Amino acid sequence: MSQTATVNERAAPAHERPSYLFDGVTLKSWLLTTDHKRIAVLYMISITIFFFIGGSAAALIRYNLIVPEGMIPSAETYNRLFTMHGVIMVWFFLVPSIPVTIGNFVLPLMIGARDLAFPKINLLSWYLFILGGAVALYALFVGGADTGWTFYAPYSTNYAQGNVVLLVTGIFISGFSSIATGLNFIVSIHRLRAPGMTWYRMPIFLWSLYSTSVIYVLATPVLAITLLLVAFERVFHVGVFDPRIGGDPILFQHMFWFYSHPAVYIMILPGLGVVSEVIPVFARKELFGYKFIAWSSVAIAVIGFFVWGHHMFVSGQSLYASIVFSLLSYFVAVPSAIKVFNWLGTLHKGYIRFDAPMLYALGFIGLFVMGGLTGLFLAALAADVDLHDTYFVIAHFHYIMVGGMVSAYFAALHFWWPKMSGRMYPEMIARAAALLMFVGFNLTFFPQFILGYLGMPRRYHSYPPEFQVLNVLSSAGASILAAAYLMPLVYLVWSLLYGERAPANPWNAKGLEWETPSPPFTANFAITPVVTDGRYNYPKPETSEAHG
């Protein structure tokens, strides 16, 4: 697959070069690095911390809901907890998640480049993320806010208690980090592909990262100006969104969801890409319908910009607008279904192995289908008027974001872990964790569909006693889920020290990243590779030596 094109000035025989992990061992060499692989590691440590903070808030939410009157005495505390959970999980875990960690690491490797187009901006993005995260955490722990992650005006601008302005500032700052990452990815994919790496030879993961980046770049600035106006209104008590002095609260919702609906697809598109990478490798088959999967990512990103109004069916927006938004929302199901059917087509007659990444990917398909189909209930205008702001909505988007995206994140983490760390994780424990996660997830969130259908509203500290059984089931599931999330934290860290050393290509997978050593050296490739064929042309199982 590779021949000489350009000789790198750093060229030295591969065995003499240190891996990126040991190319400088001081703290400074990590904190001032411009190597995309090290920045990916920095990001991975950071978002793991945020994941467990956000997860702790979720655990306390489920703890509170065990009894109808609420285990936590104060409703105000409960409001601050779900705000903390939402803000941290959305902006400091899900939005960055796969792109800034796995994406940052493998994107240049996948296109045969030595780094991203703008390495310093990549490092800057991490610092902005840390700064924004620190400000948000400070705001959440010293006072907190009770607005929910959506900051609806005029509640957020006039009545809400707590550090709304500071919290909004943290999110505003971290938005620049998203923009920097998206900009870097788009430009790198356009400009740094190795000779022969045509668009249709690119890994599907890159198509999904590209689509995600388009949303980062085009939607985040609108959130930035919206949050700025919220802060302005709250500080100066003027009425951009406050109807008492001529403002328009619906305008806030339009501007907020113009970002936040596309951002929902930021929180799933990378996961769709990961699953498209994992399935062909563990089914030993060419990816079925490559072009359809590639373009369906782009389609989801584009359609995602035209459906924001489906969050506002009961806001008082025009009925005709609601009908149009409802119809457009159905369109999102088409590219999503294309992906699912193509994955099934890939699995069909494949030689399937159930390694941990594959278990996560298969779990993803099931949960994504559940989440996607219940999304159609909510896109239906009449049904949504009934289900709006109930636990049905909570269950729906957790099926997509936790069942989907977090599963995909773990799939990606296990799949590329040997490449990133140079070590193999313990396979059987990892499979057990994957199964436990699937069980715990369904037990947590399936009861919430029923609760929502029965009419339990979201964001309430207490509930009528007849909902208790389902709530206890959900909380029990959450404890299983928590254990399943702690397992990878333990065994992945363990594998760094005691894991078996990983070969360059442990999965016998195709693709440029598997042609570099595990872990790769700083410059990725000694010579720029020349790509001569596509990524997914696995030999037929009968002739494959990779039965393993």
Return d(Cα 301, Cα 332) in angstroms, integer: 9
| In contact, 131 and 66? CB cutoff 8 Å | no
Residue 255 interacting with other proteins (CB under 8 A): yes
Tell me the closest approach of the beta carbon of residue 324 to other proteins, in angstroms: 18
By CB under 8 A, what part of segment 104-123 binds other proteins? 108, 113-119, 121
Calculate the CA 534 to chain-centre distance: 26
Return d(Cα 458, Cα 467) in angstroms, integer: 13
Those residues whose C-beta lies under 8 Å from the C-beta of residue 167, and which sit 6 or more positions away, are 87, 135, 136, 139, 140, 145
Residue 318 interacting with other proteins (CB under 8 A): no
Residue 7 φ then ψ, to 5°: -85, 130
Of residues 14 and 490, the one with the C-beta less far from other proteins? 14
E strand or H helix that includes residue 171: helix 164-191
Stretch 258-297: interaction string toward other proteins, x if CB under 8 A: x---------------------------------------
E strand or H helix that includes residue 469: helix 468-498
Of residues 216 and 441, the one with the C-beta less far from other proteins? 216
Of residues 223 and 283, the one with the C-beta less far from other proteins? 223
Of residues 97 and 184, the one with the C-beta less far from other proteins? 184
Of residues 236 and 320, the one with the C-beta less far from other proteins? 236
Return d(Cα 288, Cα 173) in angstroms, integer: 41
**How far, in Å, are 170, 184, 362 from residue 217 at the CA level?**
18, 10, 31
Stretch that binds other proteins, among 79-87, 190-198, 277-285, 294-302 (CB under 8 A): 190-198
Tell me whether residue 235 is exposed, middle or buried, using C-beta atoms within 10 angstroms of its C-beta: 0 to 12, 13 to 18, 19 or more: exposed
Among residues 39, 186, 300, 424, which is the contact residue for other proteins, using CB under 8 A?
A: 186
By CB under 8 A, what part of segment 372-401 binds other proteins? none
Tell me the closest approach of the beta carbon of residue 247 to other proteins, in angstroms: 7
Tell me the closest approach of the beta carbon of residue 75 to other proteins, in angstroms: 32
Return d(Cα 308, Cα 313) in angstroms, integer: 10
Of residues 115 and 355, the one with the C-beta less far from other proteins? 115
Stretch that binds other proteins, among 79-87, 187-195, 201-209, 442-450 (CB under 8 A): 187-195
By CB under 8 A, what part of segment 71-110 binds other proteins? 108
Return d(Cα 411, Cα 358) in angstroms, integer: 7
Return d(Cα 26, Cα 38) in angstroms, integer: 13
Which of 119, 188, 37, 124 lies closest to 524, judged by CA?
Answer: 37
Stretch 212-251: interaction string toward other proteins, x if CB under 8 A: -----xxxxxx-xxx-xx--xx--xxxxx----xxxx--x
**DSSP states along 265-317:** HHTTHHHHHHHHHHHHHHHTSPPTTHHHHHHHHHHHHHHGGG-GGGG-TTTT-
Among residues 44, 166, 192, 439, which is the contact residue for other proteins, using CB under 8 A?
A: 192
Of residues 365 and 523, the one with the C-beta less far from other proteins? 523
Tell me the closest approach of the beta carbon of residue 160 to other proteins, in angstroms: 18
Those residues whose C-beta lies under 8 Å from the C-beta of residue 128, and which sit 6 or more positions away, are 173, 174, 176, 177, 180
Residue 542 interacting with other proteins (CB under 8 A): no
Among residues 31, 134, 191, 465, which is the contact residue for other proteins, using CB under 8 A?
A: 191
Signed CA dihedral, 395, 401, 405, 406: sign only: negative
Site for other proteins (CB under 8 A): how many residues? 48
**DSSP states along 363-415:** HHHHHHHHHHHHHHHHHSHHHHHHHTTBHHHHHHHHIIIIIIIIHHHHHHHHH
Tell me whether residue 548 is exposed, middle or buried, using C-beta atoms within 10 angstroms of its C-beta: 0 to 12, 13 to 18, 19 or more: exposed
Tell me the closest approach of the beta carbon of residue 520 to other proteins, in angstroms: 14
Return d(Cα 394, Cα 444) in angstroms, integer: 11
Q: What is the DSSP secondary structure assignment for residue 339, as one 8-state letter?
A: H
Stretch 447-476: interaction string toward other proteins, x if CB under 8 A: ------------------------------
Return d(Cα 279, Cα 362) in angstroms, integer: 8
Stretch 24-53: interaction string toward other proteins, x if CB under 8 A: ------------------------------
Tell me the closest approach of the beta carbon of residue 153 to other proteins, in angstroms: 12
Strand partners, 30: none
Of residues 173 and 358, the one with the C-beta less far from other proteins? 173
Of residues 21 and 231, the one with the C-beta less far from other proteins? 231
Which of 97, 91, 116 lies closest to 106, judged by CA?
Answer: 116
Among residues 3, 18, 68, 190, which is the contact residue for other proteins, using CB under 8 A?
A: 190
Of residues 166 and 218, the one with the C-beta less far from other proteins? 218
Among residues 1, 7, 483, 490, which is the contact residue for other proteins, using CB under 8 A?
A: 7
By CB under 8 A, what part of segment 468-527 binds other proteins? 523
Calculate the CA 510 to chain-centre distance: 24
Of residues 189 and 470, the one with the C-beta less far from other proteins? 189
Tell me the closest approach of the beta carbon of residue 8 to other proteins, in angstroms: 7
By CB under 8 A, what part of segment 138-177 binds other proteins? none
Tell me the closest approach of the beta carbon of residue 224 to other proteins, in angstroms: 6
**Contact residues for other proteins, defined by CB under 8 A:** 6-10, 108, 113-119, 121, 179, 183-184, 186-187, 190-192, 217-222, 224-226, 228-229, 232-233, 236-240, 245-248, 251, 255, 258, 523
